[in-house]
Amino acid sequence: MAYVNGSVGGGVKDLYGEDSATEDKLITPWSFSVASGCTLLRDPRYNKGLAFTEKERDAHYVRGLLPPAVYTQDLQEKRLMHNLHQYDVPLHRYIALMDLQERNERLFYKLLIDNVEELLPFVYTPIVGEACQKYGSIYRRPQGLYISLKEKGKILEVLKNWPEKTIQVIVVTDGERILGLGDLGAQGMGIPVGKLSLYTALG
């Protein structure tokens, strides 16, 4: 599993801040290589949710696919923190954070960076241990690569299936000793996912 840090929005210094470049340009640079419309909104790397400006909604053909309100990243962050505080069960906060990561990576990392002390236990230890134990029941979509005995002699082919080409960090686990919980097998994927979230957010 690997996440890629790249500049967005015309080289805005704050990678997770607002895309100020669109105030001067009709179309942001990354739009030339990213699909528009529903496909754009379903791509967690580029989806900004309600932070898309009026110009961006027209340029990327997402007008009408989102509620009409425009919320800044900061406002969305405050609303999300309020929502997270409504969950009394720690695992539910973990699930909510992972759901956000799968929808809007930009907002997920902004939330994590700005509230790292509070959210760290929900992204990694200790909650990730329980998440791994229940990974099969809270599974949302594929994350990372699974290399089993069935892939013997085909590891290179498996690695080529990963969609990202610029990879900066790789975390590998055999799932045998997950936080002292024993062999969790494929459900141990929560560990590399959590570690890479922290590595990406904290550098």
Which is catalytic among the residues 71, 87, 134, 195?
A: 195
Contacts for 63 with CB less than 8 Å, ≥ 6 apart: 57
The Cα 103–Cα 110 span in angstroms is 13
- Say whether 109 is catalytic: no
CA distances from 105 to 156, 178, 186 (A): 28, 26, 24
Alpha helices, H only, 115-189:
116-123, 127-133, 135-138, 155-160
Contacts for 80 with CB less than 8 Å, ≥ 6 apart: 100, 107, 111
Which is catalytic among the residues 16, 94, 109, 124?
A: 124
The residue to which tokens 């791994």 are assigned: 132
- Say whether 124 is catalytic: yes
3-class secondary structure, 114: helix
Active site residues: 124, 195
